[in-house]
Amino acid sequence: MVRGGVRWMDEHVNDPFVRRAKAEGYRSRAAYKLIEINERDRLFAPGQLVVDLGAAPGSWSQVAAARIGAKGRIVAVDLLPIAPLPGIAIIEGDFTADPILAAITDALGGARVDVVLSDLSPNLSGIASVDQARSELLSELALDFVVHHMKPKGAFVIKAFQGSGFPALLATLRKRFEDVTSRKPEASRDRSAEMYLVARGYCVSGET
């Protein structure tokens, strides 16, 4: 369905998660995906350091910020601008580009990350094989980020699509983390092929 098309607009206006997001001050309905995942998987704790890859407009960062509290820190990165959020370091750019990776590393100040969130979506071309390949590349690069920056025992939430690259992503996560589960939160529209992999207990010595 085309974002902004008539059917999309109709569903969007009548969507209970869109209404709730407006009422509760979240920047997007996506907030409820992470809220549901966190209720089941207990990702966040006060004082943690979180990186949010593909963070715009910022609702996952809002959810994380409320759970890690004033002593926690979030670095939020997106190609698109993100309006300021209290206490959150925002970096605008492509997280796979060297200068942006350097800016993220600077913002982390040498610290290792407790939780990496990746709700990254590529720009869709409409050609399924191209979109699948783009999405898989983003997943690989997000995982590469994790390998370089995550603290032992850290957690990683990544959006994934059932497709040819899915088994390989799952297998790699299972090598690197003690526990990997898949989640399809209620706010993830039924017909969408998206799901989330929740990986906990990062093992630094795992092999990719």
Kindly tell me which of 94 and 178 has the beta carbon lying closer to ligand SAM.
94
Binding residues for ligand SAM, per CB under 6 A? 27-28, 30-31, 54-60, 77-80, 94-96, 119-122, 138
3 state SS for the chain: CCCCCHHHHHHHHHCHHHHHHHHHCCCCCCHHHHHHHHHHHCCCCCCCEEEEECCCCCHHHHHHHHHHCCCCEEEEEECCCCCCCCCEEEEECCCCCHHHHHHHHHHHCCCCEEEEEECCCCCCCCCHHHHHHHHHHHHHHHHHHHHHHEEEEEEEEEEEECCCCHHHHHHHHHHHEEEEEEECCCCCCCCCCEEEEEEEEECCCCCC
**Known catalytic residue at 151:** no
Closer CB to ligand SAM, 92 or 203, in the complex: 92
Q: Which residue is nearest to ligand SAM (CB)?
A: 54
As beta bridge partners, residue 177 has 202
Smallest gap from Cβ 101 to ligand SAM, in A, equals 10
List CB contacts of 146: < 8 A, sequence separation 6 or more: 116, 154, 156, 176, 202
- Catalytic pick among 33, 151, 159, 184: 159
Least distance CB 150 / ligand SAM (angstroms)? 18
- Quick one: 37 or 199, whose CB is closer to ligand SAM? 37
Q: Which lies closer to ligand SAM via its Cβ, residue 80 or residue 193?
A: 80
Q: How far is the CB of 205 from ligand SAM (least distance, A)?
A: 28
Closest approach of Cβ 174 to ligand SAM, in Å?
Answer: 24
Which residues are tagged catalytic? Answer: 159
